[in-house]
Amino acid sequence: MSDCSLCKVPTLPILWSGHNFRIVLVTDQNIKGYLRLELLEHVSEIHQLSESIRQQMYLLLHIIEISLVNIFHPDKINIASLGNMTPHVHWHIVSRYKQDNFFPDSIWSNPARNNRFENTQEEISNLKHQLTSMIKQQDAEQAFDS
């Protein structure tokens, strides 16, 4: 689908990419530790995925959540798949902190504070390394790239 923003090459940094999914670092929202898991094929609903692709997706979500906890030590992790504005299977995996600009509301609400948050280069490097290592450890190269 040519007008779908997720079908285009992302402008956000790609931390990992396989045959079916990619993990991008969302850097334009003033939120520390915010990743998006994107299906590469244009599919609008999860129930339309094959069983093997769904299993890959849920395993990647698990790996992403663990990696965010290990690197960023958030107070909470939010995981959301909405697709109302962008009907393409993707997940928002967001590290949440009691002092973040939106807490305790969703990241799409009006900010309650005006703090500045950025991922450090060390955090990004560690996150990329941990994601790649955990995916390989789970035999993910074979499972995700087949």
pLDDT (tens digit per residue) in 52-91? 999 999 999 999 999 999 999 999 999 999 988 888 999 9
pLDDT, position 3? 85
CB 77 within 8 A of CB 67: no
pLDDT, position 145? 52
Q: Is residue 9 part of a domain?
A: no
- The tally of domains found in the chain comes to 1
Q: Is residue 22 part of a domain?
A: yes
The range of the structural domain enclosing residue 59 comes to: 14-144
Q: Is residue 4 part of a domain?
A: no
CATH number, position 78: 3.30.428.10
pLDDT, position 137? 86
Q: Is residue 32 part of a domain?
A: yes
Q: Is residue 77 part of a domain?
A: yes
Which stretches of the chain drop beneath a pLDDT of 70?
A: 1-2, 139-146
Q: Is residue 36 part of a domain?
A: yes
Distances (CA, A) of 127 to 64, 92, 106, 119, 143: 9, 16, 23, 10, 21
